[in-house]
């Protein structure tokens, strides 16, 4: 493992001599704002790099912190960048890069999770990851548990504050048992762990996990599930909406019928109209309509 990096010195180094250790995709709007700010007021904080021997004999540098700033300067046409050059090994550089990612005001949840996963792959234990990142040992242990279970959807929800980590662990332990999951959510509600919007978010999360899978971005075909209280409620609500629509349609038809009956009632006061109906052999009306028109609708 690695210790603390040695104090560095500030240099102007060529951008094309810098290699990125932990490249990240960036939001275009955020990146455009970085470019605009640096173009207006300049670079306020230098990037951090560590030197490595190049294949051509010249010194190269491994980027530790400041990928966004470096790319912004390159977009602005700069060929050299102010950099703090420190002496640190590859693993130490990776840890520093991950720590900076976590310290950002806004970071992508999957980036943090990918970083913790990479540390695990490199052989770091939960306690060492906790020491290197500043996260609590219990938090790292639970996160690693969810990673082992492939619960990417739950992990993202935890990092975005949609559900508490303890609830995500309970959902994961329940597997695909809807009954067990609902019991866990009920208990969380009764104990005050889930309230208001969080409870709604948790229910939506469970539905997405059941129908779309545990991984974000994958959309398997929905699988038939056992009848549950929640599915019965949804079926009941759907049936209620269907019947309400039928009632509205029936009311509209009744209004049209009343209009027709009223119009015919007025016409039957006209002797010429009645004579015309008799001459055309149209002197019979449906019983329901004749009853609605009343005695004035009689053609007999």
Query: What pLDDT, in 10s, does the model give residues 109-128?
Result: 566 677 777 788 878 888 88
Q: Are 48 and 8 in contact (CB under 8 A)?
A: yes
pLDDT at 201 over 70: yes
Q: Are 126 and 145 in contact (CB under 8 A)?
A: no
Where a domain ends, among 107, 138, 166? Answer: 107
Q: For residue 228, is it within any domain?
A: no
Q: For residue 150, is it within any domain?
A: no
Q: For residue 198, is it within any domain?
A: no
pLDDT at 84 over 70: yes
pLDDT at 296 over 70: no
**Alpha-carbon gap, residue 58 to 44, rounded angstroms:** 28
Q: Which range of residues forms the domain containing residue 86?
A: 1-107
Q: Which residue has the tokens 């004749």?
A: 290
Where a domain ends, among 91, 107, 123? Answer: 107
Where a domain ends, among 76, 107, 138? Answer: 107
pLDDT digits (tens, 9 = 90+) for 130-146: 887 777 888 888 888 88
Q: For residue 290, is it within any domain?
A: yes
Q: For residue 194, is it within any domain?
A: no
φ, ψ dihedrals at 45, nearest 5°: -130, 125
Confidence (pLDDT) at 103: 53
Q: Are 61 and 19 in contact (CB under 8 A)?
A: yes
φ, ψ dihedrals at 214, nearest 5°: -85, -20
Confidence (pLDDT) at 61: 92
Nearest to 132 by CA among 162, 102, 152: 102
Sheet holding 6-14, edge to edge: 6-14, 80-87, 47-53, 59-65, 18-20
Q: Positive or negative CA dihedral for 273, 275, 280, 286?
A: positive
The CATH code of the domain that includes 75 is: 3.90.1530.10
Q: For residue 55, is it within any domain?
A: yes
Interval 18-44 mean pLDDT: 79
Number of domains in the chain: 2
Q: For residue 230, is it within any domain?
A: no
Confidence (pLDDT) at 225: 45
Q: For residue 276, is it within any domain?
A: yes
Q: How far apart are the first and last CA of the chain?
A: 108
Interval 231-244 mean pLDDT: 72
pLDDT at 100 over 70: no
DSSP secondary structure string for all residues of 75-86: HTT-SEEEEEEE
CA atoms within 13 A on the CB side of 7: 0
Residue 11 β-bridge partners: 83
Q: Positive or negative CA dihedral for 82, 84, 87, 88?
A: negative
Angle at 190 between CA 184 and CA 194, to 5 degrees: 70
**Alpha-carbon gap, residue 205 to 185, rounded angstroms:** 11
């Amino acid at each position: 493992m690695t210790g603390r990096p040695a104090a560095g010195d500030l240099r102007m180094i060529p951008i094309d001599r810098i290699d990125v250790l932990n490249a990240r995709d960036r939001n275009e709007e955020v990146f455009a704002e970085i470019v605009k700010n640096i173009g207006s007021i300049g670079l306020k904080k230098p990037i951090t790099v560590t030197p490595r021997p190049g294949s051509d004999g010249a010194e190269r540098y491994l980027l530790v912190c400041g990928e966004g700033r470096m790319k912004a300067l390159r977009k602005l046409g700069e060929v050299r960048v102010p950099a703090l050059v420190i002496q640190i090994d590859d693993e130490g550089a990776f840890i520093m890069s991950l720590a900076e990612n976590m310290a950002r005001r806004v970071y992508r949840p999957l980036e943090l999770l990918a970083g913790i996963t990479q540390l695990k792959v490199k052989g770091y234990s939960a306690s060492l990851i906790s020491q290197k990142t500043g996260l609590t040992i219990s938090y790292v242990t639970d996160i690693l548990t969810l990673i082992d279970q492939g619960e990417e959807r739950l992990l993202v929800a935890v990092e975005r504050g949609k559900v508490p980590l303890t609830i995500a662990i309970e959902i994961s332990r329940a597997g695909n048992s809807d009954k067990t999951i609902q019991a866990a959510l009920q208990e969380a509600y009764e104990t005050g762990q889930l309230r208001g919007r969080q409870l709604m978010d948790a229910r939506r999360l469970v539905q997405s996990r059941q129908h779309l899978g545990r991984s974000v971005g994958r959309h398997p075909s929905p699988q038939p599930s056992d009848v549950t209280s929640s599915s019965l409620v949804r079926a009941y609500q759907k049936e209620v909406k269907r019947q309400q629509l039928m009632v509205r349609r029936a009311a509209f038809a009744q209004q049209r019928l009343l209009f027709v009956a009223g119009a015919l009632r007025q016409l039957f006061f006209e002797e010429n109209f009645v004579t015309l109906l008799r001459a055309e052999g149209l002197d019979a009306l449906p019983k329901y309509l004749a009853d609605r028109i009343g005695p004035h609708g009689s053609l007999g």
